[in-house]
Amino acid sequence: MKLDPHSALMSHLLGAVFEDEHRAERPALTSIVTHKYGDKEPGAGFYEMARSLGYRFDEPFVFWAQQVQDIFKLHGRPDGRI
């Protein structure tokens, strides 16, 4: 199945994953989904979803970087290697 990374379906799927992780009190797994080219950061939808779920932050980059770190702490290998 081919899925356009900029499609409404992709946005919906990422939003559903973000919501599920938030309900389970885990960091945003979707934080590791970034632009393939350019800034290599998440799109605006990541921050919009975060705010809709109640996250509050003044510095989007700092919020995102912390989420990425938390994901790797949670899902990284026990020996610390990725």
- Tens digits of residue pLDDT in 18-77: 999 999 999 999 999 999 999 999 999 999 999 999 999 999 999 999 999 999 999 986
| Structural domain harbouring 80 | 29-82
Please write down the HEC assignment for all residues of 27-78.
CCHHHHCCCCCCCCCCCHHHHHHHHHCCCCCCCHHHHHHHHHHHHHHHHCCC
Q: Report yes or no on 52 lying in a domain.
A: yes
Residue 58 has a pLDDT of 98
- H or E element, residue 8: helix 8-23
Q: Does some domain include residue 3?
A: no
In a domain? residue 73: yes
> Looking at the domain assignment, is residue 42 inside a domain?
yes
For residue 14, is it within any domain? no
| Residue 66, in any domain of the structure | yes
In a domain, 16, yes or no: no
Is 47 within the bounds of a domain?
Answer: yes
**Number of structural domains the chain divides into:** 1
